[in-house]
Amino acid sequence: MKFFIDTANMEEIREAHALGIIAGVTTNPSLVAKEKGISFHDRLKEICELVNGSVSGEVIALDAEGMIREGRELAAIHSNITVKLPMTPDGLKAVSVLSKEGIKTNVTLIFSANQALMAARAGATYVSPFIGRLDDIGTNGLDLISTIAEIFAIHGIESEIIAASIRHPQHVTDAALRGAHIATCPYKVITQLFNHPLTAAGIDAFLADWSTRTEK
C-alpha cells in the first residue's frame, strides 16, 4: 500500500515529502479553503512541482459539462494532476469523457461497493471510499475496503482503491490488510505512525549508555 497525504498545506506536504514515503497528494474544497489567500491553481502547481506522483484537485461544478470544463483546466496545470469528481451521475459522465482523453480521475465520496464498481467502469483511475465518515455513522468503513478490493480482484478491475477519511494509525494498518492500494492520510496521522513507546525508550537507553562510554 502506498501513502498519499491529504492536505493542501505546503508545509505539511514538504515535511511529509522529505520522509520519502509520499507517492501522491489529495486535496478537497474543504482542505483548500483552510489555506487562506492562495490561488487554487497556483497551489496545485506548487504541489505538483514538489511531489512526483498523483495530485488530486477537485472540481466544484455539479453538472457534467461544468465538471468536464473544470477537469480539463485542472489537467492543463501539470501532468501530475488527477481530477477529483464526486460520485454522482454527472460525476460519472465527466469521468467517462475525461478518462477517454487520457486525464486521470479520482471518484470521491464513495460509501458503497456499487458506487466503487460504477466509478471503475466509468474509467476512474482511483476510487476513494471514505472510511472515517462511515465509522462516524456506525458502519464499519474498513469492511467496505475489503468488499471493493474483492470485487476488483474477481473482475480484474485496475482502478486503484484510495482509503480516504483516515482518522488514526489503526485505519492505516487495517486499510493495508484489507487491500487498499493507497491510504491518503492527514499530516497528523502520518506523524502518529512514527510513535511507539519502545522506539522512544530505546533511543533514550542508547543515549544514556553512550553518555557513559569511555574512549582511549
Nearer to ligand E4P, 93 or 133 (CB): 133
Active site residue 104: no
Pick the catalytic residue from 84, 93, 104, 216: 84
Cα distance between residue 74 and residue 84, in whole Å:
10
Cα distance between residue 164 and residue 200, in whole Å:
29
User: Which residues of this chain interact with ligand E4P, rule CB under 6 A?
Assistant: 6, 26, 28, 108, 128, 130, 132-133, 164-165, 184
Nearer to ligand E4P, 112 or 204 (CB): 112
Q: Tell me how far, at minimum, the Cβ of 66 lies from ligand E4P, in Å.
A: 20
H helices present in the chain, as ranges: 10-18, 29-33, 40-50, 64-75, 89-100, 113-122, 131-136, 141-154, 169-178, 187-192, 197-210
Nearer to ligand E4P, 125 or 184 (CB): 184
Q: Tell me how far, at minimum, the Cβ of 128 lies from ligand E4P, in Å.
A: 5
In contact, 185 and 19? CB cutoff 8 Å: no
Q: Tell me how far, at minimum, the Cβ of 143 lies from ligand E4P, in Å.
A: 17
| Nearest C-alpha neighbor of 71 from the set 53, 50, 97, 47 | 97
Angle, vertex CA 97, rays to CA 116 and CA 163, nearest 5: 25
Q: Tell me how far, at minimum, the Cβ of 1 lies from ligand E4P, in Å.
A: 15
Nearer to ligand E4P, 55 or 214 (CB): 55
**Active site residue ranges:** 84
